[in-house]
Chains A and B, each alone.
Chain A
Amino acid sequence: MSERSPRQGRDAGVDEILEGRREPGPVARKLPGPVAWFDIRGRSTGHLAFSLNRITGLGLVFYLYLHLLVLSTLLRGEGSWNGFLEIATTPLFLGFDVLLVFGLLVHGLNGTRLALVGSGFVPNRQKALFWSFMIFGAIVLVYTAIHVFGSEG
């Protein structure tokens, strides 16, 4: 009587199935790709600061290119530039200016906080630093908005 090992007794294809199961499955993600950066549901102050920094950072990069595009109107002559200036003094555009200041304040102040926390000076005060800087930023933003819209006309 011939002896058969347990492996020889298996149905065809079992080894193939087992081989497939040795491979790990897909990496579990909370949300696809960079969308996870902005999911602050149930998250802490640090994650809110992280998300704000990413959004304002992307916004400022977008603004940089927009700014260069706007400046390029100078190449098309004085009339073109003056036409842009008429648009630039409309309330909607001034609102975008305030939005720009918001982005600069959030990114700049949060960056300062990150430099202080990230270099190990105040690692246990990151939440207090964030809110302190944001309150300061809000005051500066309100002051700026009053002056921007006050200068209108």
Chain B
Amino acid sequence: MSDAVRTLRVHRFKRGDDAPRVEEHLVPAHEGTTVLEALRWIQLQEDPTLGLRHSCFHASCGTCGVRVNGRERLACVTRLSDVEGAVIVDPIANLPVLHDLVVDMAAFVARFPQPHPIVRESEFLPESSPADGIDDHERYEDCIECGLCLSACPVAATDDTYVGPAALAYAQRMIEESRGGDREALLHWADQDAGAWRCHAAFECTEACPSDVRPAQRIMALRRELRGRRTDHDRAVPDRPATVTGASA
């Protein structure tokens, strides 16, 4: 049973449109209604053509990233009751819009260095041992690749060549725990104008990250590595190996 009616102003755009427009909907809501549930209500009750992307409903998949009243949020865990006034929902910024609230995540993933493993060794008590039949404990990386950090970054707002916080934080994780990766190639990848040095330390990525990856702190750690490497090698590094690719300056 609904307690209130909330106004949602939703960004609408379809390829071929001249310009985006804002569509207003009145949505029944109660204390726990999330932005994603409200968007789904619009989709089911009023306009089935509303384009949005979602999957898990519990902040694990990172697919429902949007901007709610200008702030980067996962729609599935953002309650309407936590937002004052009209709820303005926009797609995440700094990526091409495909349809309404759906952005082209290929443009996000293309920024990452390759290869791009997402499984890593799990934190476990040193005295523990894997159960019989299990070689090792593994877990997914914390980054859910939602793109909120790139949307929040003020540098990415004016520089599409910048690889962005998620890709740099990923590179730092790989350097921290290389899992057989080419550490030197990753450092070389990050040591570019559009890489770690483009960050201007606004720390908005860390504020926006719903998964506590702390991308800004990782970029700073990466810079420290790069600074030491520059001192050691004076940038006399061979050409970039073909195994590491991604956006370049």
Residues of A within 8 A of B (CB): 17, 20-21, 23-31, 33-34, 36-37, 39, 41-47, 49-51, 53, 114, 117-121, 123-124, 126
Choose the segment among B40-48, B87-95, B116-124 that binds chain A (4+ C-beta atoms closer than 8 Å). B87-95
Question: Which residues from chain B contact A119 at a C-beta distance below 8 Å?
Answer: 220, 223-224, 227
Given A27-B160, A37-B158: A44 in contact with B207 (beta carbons within 8 A)? yes
B157 touches A26 (CB 8 A): no
The answer to whether B60 has its CB under 8 Å from any CB of chain A is no
Given A24-B107, A25-B13, A36-B157: A46 in contact with B203 (beta carbons within 8 A)? yes
B204 touches A124 (CB 8 A): no
Closest-CB distance, A34 to chain B (whole angstroms): 6
B94 touches A28 (CB 8 A): yes
Please indicate which of the listed interface residues B90, B93, B103, B157 has the most CB atoms of chain A within 10 Å of its own CB.
Answer: B157
Q: Give me 6 A-to-B residue pairs in the complex whose CB atoms sit less than 8 angstroms apart, sorted by A's number.
A: A20-B15, A28-B97, A50-B202, A117-B220, A123-B221, A126-B201
B15 touches A21 (CB 8 A): yes
Please indicate which of the listed interface residues A41, A50, A121 has the most CB atoms of chain B within 10 Å of its own CB.
Answer: A50
B154 touches A36 (CB 8 A): yes
A21 touches B220 (CB 8 A): no
The answer to whether B78 has its CB under 8 Å from any CB of chain A is no
Beyond known contacts A29-B94, A117-B201: 16 more, CB 8 A cutoff: A21-B15, A25-B96, A27-B93, A28-B95, A28-B96, A31-B157, A33-B158, A42-B70, A46-B202, A50-B201, A118-B220, A118-B223, A119-B220, A120-B227, A121-B224, A123-B216
Closest-CB distance, B99 to chain A (whole angstroms): 8
> In the assembly, what is the distance between CA of A53 and CA of B202, in Å?
10
Question: Which residues from chain B contact A49 at a C-beta distance below 8 Å?
Answer: 201-202
The proximity string for B residues 180-217 relative to A, scoring 1 for CB distances below 8 Å and 0 otherwise, is: 00000000000000000001111110110000000011
The answer to whether B98 has its CB under 8 Å from any CB of chain A is yes
Closest-CB distance, B129 to chain A (whole angstroms): 33
Question: Which residues from chain B contact A121 at a C-beta distance below 8 Å?
Answer: 224
B16 touches A21 (CB 8 A): yes
Closest-CB distance, A28 to chain B (whole angstroms): 5
Closest-CB distance, A94 to chain B (whole angstroms): 33
> In the assembly, what is the distance between CA of A114 and CA of B11, in Å?
36
> In the assembly, what is the distance between CA of A77 and CA of B235, in Å?
51
The answer to whether B176 has its CB under 8 Å from any CB of chain A is no
Docked complex: B83-115 residues within 8 A CB-CB of A: 90-99, 103-104, 107
Question: Which residues from chain B contact A124 at a C-beta distance below 8 Å?
Answer: 217
The proximity string for B residues 69-88 relative to A, scoring 1 for CB distances below 8 Å and 0 otherwise, is: 11100000000000000000
A28 touches B103 (CB 8 A): yes
B224 touches A120 (CB 8 A): yes
Question: Which residues from chain A contact B104 at a C-beta distance below 8 Å?
Answer: 24
A46 touches B204 (CB 8 A): yes
Question: Which residues from chain A contact B92 at a C-beta distance below 8 Å?
Answer: 28
